[in-house]
Structure 1
Amino acid sequence: RTVDYLRDAAAQGAQFVLTPEVTNCVSTSRAQQAKVLRAESEDETLAALREEANAHGIWLLIGSLGLQTEDPDGRFANRSFLIDPDGAVQARYDKIHMFDVEIDETETYRESAGYRPGTQAVVAQTPWGTLGMSICYDLRFPQLYQALVDAGAQILTVPAAFSPVTGAAHWHALLRARAIETGCFVLAPAQTGTHQSAANKTRDTYGHSLVVAPWGEVVLDAGEAPGVYMFEIDPKEVETARRRVPSMANRRSFAQP
C-alpha cells in the first residue's frame, strides 16, 4: 500500500513525499518484530521505496523503518531515511528519545526494551532548504530542534506513530510550538487507525498528519483517514517568521538555578 500511495502522490505532481514512523511494521510485539524485521541492507521496504523515488524522480522521506542491528543485546534501530530522486540515501537518522511511558493502568510503552536510542542529530540539504530530522517522541525535547536550527535547519520532519491519548492531548500543540520556537516548517506524517500487532493484539495510532508553517499556522491536518494529502510550502516564510520574532537569535546563556 505504501508504494501505491507514493505512486498516487507522484501522479498528482508531488516533488517531496513523506511517510510515517515505522513504515514497515507497526507492532508492540517484540517477538513479531524479531520475526519480520531485517537489517538495512536486506529491508524490502527500503529497497522498494528507493526504486520508486528513482522511477518518479522525487525526494522521499521514509519516516522510519524498524531494522535489525548488530547490537549485542539484540535491540533494533528506529531509523529515518532521506532519499533523493536518484534513489540514493542522502541521510539517515536513528531516533534519539525512546518512548518509555506509563500513560495509564492499561497503556504502557517501553520502546527502549526493543529499540536502542540513536546518538547523532542529523541535517541534510534539499531543494527547499536544510532539513532537520527527528522521529515521534523526539517532539517533546525542544533542545534537539534548537540544535538542528543551529546547524541550519529550515524544515523539521517529525514522522510519528502517536498514541490516541497523547495525540489528542499534545500532538497539535507540540508541533505548533516547535514551528513557532524555531521559525521552521514542520512536516509530520503520522500513522493512523488500528494496526494488527500480533495474534489477537492490535495497536491504535492517532493520525492527524500535520504541516505547520513557521508562524504556527496549520497548513494541513489530514485527520484520521489514511491516504495521500498534498500541500505546498514557500521557503521564504522561514525568513519572514524569523525576522518578525528572532527568538533563536535572542537566546542568552544563564547561570543554572
Structure 2
Amino acid sequence: MRISVIQMSPGSDKRRNIAEASRLIRAAVEADRPDLVVLPEMWSCLGGTAAVKREAAEDLPDPQRGRAAGEAYGAMQALAGDNRITLHAGSIGERTGDRISNTSLVFGPDGSELARYRKIHLFDVVTPNGESYRESDTYAPGEAVVTVLLGSIRAGLAICYDLRFGELFLSLRREGAELIILPAAFTAETGAAHWETLLRARAIETQCWLAASATCGTHVDANGAVRSTFGHSMVIDPWGTVVAQAANGPGWATGTLHSDRTAQVRAGIPVLDHRRLA
C-alpha cells in the first residue's frame, strides 16, 4: 500500500482550505500514485473564534435520515471517488450539540464513507512557553476506539493529542491494526521536543505502521495571537524507522507499507504475546 501524507498550512478560511487540500491531493496522486492519502487535523478550519469554528463545522450525513453533506465532506468524498483512492480526510469540525467534535472521516475509492472517529483526548494544557490551549471549551470528546479495513490492511484511527496515550494505540493493535493513521496539528514547541519521538515509540510499541499528516506554518487564534504548528509529516515502519518525511512547508511525503515487514517485526519480538499487564 502506497501512502501519501499531506502537509498543509491552513487558517480559518474554509473555502480556501478546501481548495488547497484539493490541490495537494491531486498533485500527490499525479506524482506518486498512492493508494491512501491522509490529510492533517482540522485542515478545514484551524484557528479563529469559537463562532468561526462552529460555522465551519458540518452536520455529517446520516444515511437513515438522508441529510445532505457539508462542503468539506462533499469535496473529499468526490476527490476519493474521482481519483479512485482511499482518502483519510484528516479531521474536520462536526456539529454534535452545544460543542463540536473533532472528527476523522475515511472514504473509499468509490466515494463511500468507510469510517468515522471522534478525537478522544482533548488538548487542555499550558505549554512551557506559556501558551494556553483549551480544546474542551469548543470540542466534545469522543468515546469509541475505531478501526477500519482498507483492502487487506486494518487501520486504527487517532488524532493529534491521542499520540500521548499509549493505551489507545495498544487497543488499536489489539483490534487488529497493522497501520495507525494520525492527523495532527502539533504546536511548534511540543512538536520539536516530542513529535518524532512519540511517533516512533508508538510504532515500536504496537509494531504498526504510522501515517502521520500534520499542519505547518502559522494561524491566528481566537484572541488574535499567532500560533505555529510543527509539520514534519511522516510514514514510519513497525521497527520505528522513518521511511518518508515531508519537507518544511506545504507538500506531502509518500511511503510504501509492506505487510511482510510487519510480519517480520512481530515474529522477531512478539510483544503482544508477552504482555503480562493490561
Measure, in 2, the Cα distance between the counterparts of 1:28 and 1:180.
36
* Residue 96 (str. 1) matches residue 116 (str. 2): no
**1:1-257 → structure 2 map (5 Å cutoff):** 1-12=20-31, 13-27=33-47, 29-41=49-61, 42-69=69-96, 71=97, 74-104=98-128, 106-197=130-221, 200-253=224-277
TM-score normalised by structure 2 residue count: 0.86
Deviation at residue 210 of structure 1 after TM alignment: 1.0
CA distance in 1, matches of 2:201, 2:134: 26
- The SS at the match of 2:235 is strand
Match for 2:258: what amino acid?
D
Instruction: Work out whether residues 54 and 93 of structure 2, in 8 Å CA contact, stay in contact via their aligned partners in 1.
Output: no
Q: Is the 8 A contact 1:8 1:228 kept in 2?
A: no
Equivalences, count: 251
Instruction: Compute the displacement of 1:31 (Å).
Output: 2.6
- Runs (5+) with no aligned partner, structure 1: none
* CA deviation after TM superposition for structure 1 residue 223, in Å: 3.4
Match of 2:66 in 1: none
The 1:105–1:177 alpha-carbon spacing in structure 2 relative to 1, beyond 3 Å, is: closer
Tell me by how many angstroms 1:104 deviates.
Answer: 3.4
Question: Offset at 1:113?
Answer: 1.0
Once the 2 structures are TM-superposed, how far is the Cα of residue 29 of structure 1 from its aligned partner? 2.4
Distance 1:115 1:85 in 2: 30
- Cα gap change, 1:128 to 1:208, in 2 (>3 Å): farther
Q: Deviations over 1:13-71 (max 9, x none)?
A: 121111000121111521321233232244211110100110111001011111222x2
More contact order relative to length (CA 8 Å, sep ≥ 6): 2
Amino acid at match of 1:3: S
Q: Tell me the amino acid that sits aligned with residue 45 of structure 2.
A: C
Note the C-alpha offset of 1:105.
Answer: 5.7
> Residues 89-130 of structure 1: CA distance to partner in whole angstroms, max 9, x if unpaired?
100000000111111363011111110000000011012510
Q: Which residue of 1 aligns with 2:11?
A: none
Alpha-carbon distance in 2 for matches of 1:169, 1:105: 13
Task: State the secondary structure of the residue aligned to 1:229.
Answer: strand
TM-score, length of structure 1 as denominator length: 0.93
SS across alignment from 1:51: helix
| Other-structure match for 2:15 | none
Tell whether the 8 Å contact from 1:61 to 1:81 is kept in structure 2 after alignment.
Answer: yes
Which residue identity lines up with residue 9 of structure 1 in the other structure? A
Note if contact 1:28-1:203 (Cα within 8 Å) is conserved in structure 2. Answer: no
Equivalent-residue separation in structure 2 for 1:184 and 1:52 (angstroms): 27
User: Deviation per CA, 1:154-181, whole angstroms, max 9, x where unpaired?
Assistant: 0001110000111011000000000000
Q: Do 2:56 and 2:93's aligned partners in 1 also have CA atoms closer than 8 Å?
A: no
Secondary structure of 1:8's counterpart equals helix
Cα 1:30–1:93, aligned 2, differ >3 Å: closer, same or farther? Answer: same
Deviation at 1:200, TM superposition (A): 4.2
Deviation at 1:83, TM superposition (A): 0.7
The residue type paired with residue 106 of structure 1 is G
